[in-house]
Structure 1
Amino acid sequence: MRPEEKKKVLFLCTHNSARSQMAEGLLRAIYGNRYEAYSAGIEATTVNPHAVTVMKEIGIDVSNQRSKAFQEFQDTVFDLAVTVCDRAKAACPICSTNPELPTRLPRARGVIHKSFEDPAAAVGSEEERLRVFRRVRDEIKDWILQTFEE
């Protein structure tokens, strides 16, 4: 499949630090031959080091990804936008592909909402926090396998 035939998917989250970053890396690694994966947040921060660690454990390097605000994609039309947390769903509405609408927001032909627990909110020891990141990573991976399988 040529790059121009790949479907563009945007994962949206609150800070684009963990869930959306892991989803971007997972989709790219699993179905990168069919999809172009992107991620953004309501506001950009930094990629959570725990997300980098747990992704590396399964052979996916997201250390070169960066946190981005959704406004960076205001001129891009995605085939699908996926909000991976309730706050992103409420705070970052996705515009339709209607050319009459303003383009300050990302546009998508389709939108899916699938909320995952925020692993960055985990408390406890380092190992306990990593355990939460691993669980959320695995939940996102399973969801991607089921949702994007053709």
Structure 2
Amino acid sequence: MSEAKRPGAVLFACSFNAVRSPMAAAIARHLFPGTVYVASAGVRRGEPDPFAVAVMEEIGLDIRRHKPHTFEDLEDTSFDLVVSLAPEAHHKALELTRYYSLDAEYWPTADPTLTTGSRDQILDAYRAVRDGLERRIKQRLDWRPMIGRA
């Protein structure tokens, strides 16, 4: 994807806006500071997730202040692209395409909150989601490291 085709405003959406979409939004904001407007929303409002906070802190991103909210809570709907990370969020995104000129993409993304097992197994599931989102965001938005950017 060329620089000219990179969307200027992206909305990441999932079921509860507590894990996948805030993680994706934080990653995109970090990778594209000041060049891409990024927001997140959920079909329903969830509760902040401590495992999501922990795995994002591992890569130096702080999502502790994130307050889960819904599509209806969005103050701005001027997005070029809505990336849905859950099927029900994609249905909402497709509804938006009826009223607004935007692209909607579905990126099937596992829900790590469904993982059972030890704390380490659960954290590994969250890390897998985080790392998969980072790879996909870099690929879709054509990320290129700049001199001085880690």
Fold similarity call, TM over 0.5: yes
Q: What residue number does 1:24 align with?
A: 25
2:140 corresponds to which of 140, 144, 147: 147
Q: Percent identity?
A: 30
Which letter does structure 2 place at the counterpart of 1:51?
A
The corresponding residue for 1:9 is 10
CA distance in 1, matches of 2:57, 2:34: 20
CA distance in 2, matches of 1:66, 1:28: 16
What's the CA shift for 1:93?
A: 3.2
Instruction: List aligned pairs for 1:23-102, cutoff 5 A.
Output: 23-73=24-74, 75-91=76-92, 93-96=94-97, 101=99
* TM-score using structure 1 length: 0.83
Map of 1:131 onto structure 2: 124
Mapped contact 2:56–2:130 kept (Cα < 8 A): yes
CA positional deviation for 1:75: 4.9
What is the rounded CA distance, in whole Å, between the counterparts of 1:52 and 1:7 in structure 2?
A: 26
Q: Which moved more, 1:67-76 or 1:16-25?
A: 67-76
- Gaps (5+ residues) in structure 2? 1-6, 144-150
Q: Which amino acid aligns with 2:69?
A: K
Distance 1:140 1:81 in 2: 14
Deviation at 1:91, TM superposition (A): 4.9
Aligned-partner residue type, residue 70 of structure 2: A
**C-alpha contact (below 8 Å) 1:7/1:79 kept by paired residues:** yes
Contact in 2 for aligned 1:14/1:43 (Cα 8 Å): yes
> What is the CA distance between 1:86 and its match in structure 2?
1.6
Q: TM-score, normalised by structure 2?
A: 0.83
CA RMSD across the alignment: 1.8
Q: Which runs of 5+ in 1 are unaligned?
A: 1-5, 102-106
Cα deviation per residue 1:18-64 (whole Å; 9 max; x = unaligned)? 11010010000111231111100000112211111000000111111
Structure 1 residues 60 and 74, CA gap change in structure 2 (3 angstroms): closer
Change (3 A) 1:127 1:112: same
